Amino acid sequence: MKLSDLLHRPAPELPGLVAVARVDRRADALARRAKPGEIAVIDQLDLDRATADALIAAGVIAVVNAAQSITGRYPNLGPSALVSSGVLLVDTVGPEIMHAVKDGMRLRISDGVLFAGKKRLGDGIVQDADSVADAMVEAKSGLSTQLEAFAGNTIEFMRRERAMLLDGHGVPDVDVAMAGRHVLVVAAGFDHAEQLARLRHYIRECKPVLVGVGAGADALLAAGYTPQLIVGNPAGVSNAALGCGADVVVPADLDGHAPGLHRVQDLGAGAVTFPSSANTEDMALLLAAHGGAELVVTVGLSASMAEFLDRSRATSNASTFLTRLQVGGTLVDGSALATLYRSRVPVGVVWLMVLAAVAVGLSALLVSDAGDAVLSWLAQLWTGVLAGSGF
């Protein structure tokens, strides 16, 4: 072989998955700027379902986690969501990877080993359906410990915020009228887009107050609706949603500090703060309950025991449990309501059936012996109407 041929021969393609890396310790922030086909590099213990869903929705093809995605403390749902969606999950790579991988770098992953070109940056454990299932079985053994800790946190949360829960002290006033109305609370959680689509008949018929929790406001816009109330940190909401005319409620800590409030003000929109340690989903439910809502329908919020425990903060679990006790029988899960509406025959279909039956009946009558008499009566009726003389 000639030397010129060797010089011009293309370099052999290196094995593995190659894509642009996006790096951020805050996976929720990373999900908002990641693009389809990129690799997410995060550092999050016990990856929860909401974070995994956000990364899946962003279209990432791989997730590199510096931490353990399943520690065994409780059966968290994030890893199984990623793996079942076909997203490569490389786990427990180590904290140094957050510095070794630069944002925007082309990263290559081969058998759990991370490379920049040929330079080895680190390695981790490739999780698949079997390994995640095995880890989940082990994690379920830790549920009793988690439930005991949850009981203590619930008592502490109730002691600290009972006036807010029971009497509404600190719950801000909003200009959206909810008394005696249905309220639909939408969060960008599991299966929220499909649930919204299934509720379209309900939304059209009952015209509920539309409340977006964080990115749930953008989910409403994407589905063709305009939120009337937005609850959450404005950092997770688009300018389009914040500027759509909705009232905005910004969570604040118990000292009154509300991160992100300035963003709403910079857009020229009005906002009020809600000082509480409850999570934003529960704040939205409490606003509806204390606003006198007749029925509160939820989309994308935790519904099952597994989803309820799949939280990163113990306080979130406590506030969720106590909020649902407070809201009581007015709270309905959107998937259940969608099932009920699916079993109904739409009003339009009923009218079409009635008109078809009338048409068939008239056709049968007009071809009978009495047809001439019926036609004559209809002609006289029409003449009387036109003459304004009645009949």
Mean pLDDT of 177-193: 88
pLDDT for res 35: 93
Residue 293 has pLDDT above 90, yes or no: yes
Residue 23 has pLDDT above 60, yes or no: yes
User: Quick one: CA dihedral 249, 253, 256, 259, positive or negative?
Assistant: negative
Range of weakest confidence among 94-103, 163-172, 275-284, 338-347: 338-347
Q: Say yes or no: 164 and 306 in one domain.
A: yes
pLDDT for res 123: 95
Q: Say yes or no: 117 and 170 in one domain.
A: no
Of 273, 278, 287, 316, the residue nearest 183 (C-alpha): 287
User: Among residues 90, 105, 140, which one ends one of the domains?
Assistant: 140
Q: Say yes or no: 136 and 167 in one domain.
A: no
| Residue indicated by tokens 């680190």 | 122
- Residue 1 resides in a domain: no
Q: Of 286 and 346, which is predicted with more confidence?
A: 286
- Residue 8 resides in a domain: no
Q: What CA–CA distance (Å, rounded) separates 315 from 358?
A: 61
Q: Of 240 and 260, which is predicted with more confidence?
A: 240
Q: Say yes or no: 167 and 267 in one domain.
A: yes
Q: Which domain holds residue 361?
A: 349-385
Residue 363 has pLDDT above 70, yes or no: no
pLDDT for res 372: 57
Q: What CA–CA distance (Å, rounded) separates 391 from 376?
A: 13
pLDDT tens digits, 37-74: 999 999 999 898 888 988 998 899 999 999 999 988 77
Q: How many domains does the chain have?
A: 3
pLDDT tier, 2 (very low <50, low <70, confident <90, very high otherwise): low
Q: Which residues of 169-194 are buried (b: 16+ CB within 10 A; e: fewer)?
A: ebbbebebebeebbbbbbbbbbebee
Residue 210 has pLDDT above 80, yes or no: yes
- Residue 83 resides in a domain: yes
CATH number reported for the structural domain that contains residue 97 in this entry: 3.50.30.10
Mean pLDDT of 366-384: 55
What is the pTM (predicted TM-score) of this model? 0.63
- Residue 122 resides in a domain: yes
Q: Say yes or no: 88 and 166 in one domain.
A: no
pLDDT tier, 389 (very low <50, low <70, confident <90, very high otherwise): very low
Q: Say yes or no: 295 and 373 in one domain.
A: no
pLDDT tens digits, 94-109: 999 999 999 999 999 9
User: Among residues 109, 140, 171, which one ends one of the domains?
Assistant: 140
- Residue 6 resides in a domain: no
pLDDT for res 157: 79
- Residue 197 resides in a domain: yes
pLDDT for res 342: 66
- Residue 106 resides in a domain: yes
Q: What CA–CA distance (Å, rounded) separates 81 from 51?
A: 10
Q: Say yes or no: 36 and 124 in one domain.
A: yes
Q: Say yes or no: 158 and 47 in one domain.
A: no
CA-CA distances (angstroms) from residue 28 to 33, 118, 283, 336? Answer: 9, 30, 19, 28
The answer to whether 264 and 244 are in contact (CB under 8 A) is: no
User: Among residues 140, 159, 175, which one ends one of the domains?
Assistant: 140
pLDDT tens digits, 303-325: 555 555 665 444 456 677 778 77
pLDDT for res 315: 46
Q: Say yes or no: 184 and 320 in one domain.
A: yes
Q: Say yes or no: 153 and 136 in one domain.
A: no
pLDDT for res 112: 94
pLDDT for res 246: 92
The answer to whether 121 and 238 are in contact (CB under 8 A) is: no
Q: Of 390 and 182, which is predicted with more confidence?
A: 182
Q: Of 203 and 356, which is predicted with more confidence?
A: 203
Q: Say yes or no: 251 and 148 in one domain.
A: yes
Residue 6 has pLDDT above 50, yes or no: no
- Residue 49 resides in a domain: yes
Q: Say yes or no: 226 and 360 in one domain.
A: no
pLDDT tens digits, 376-388: 655 565 565 455 5
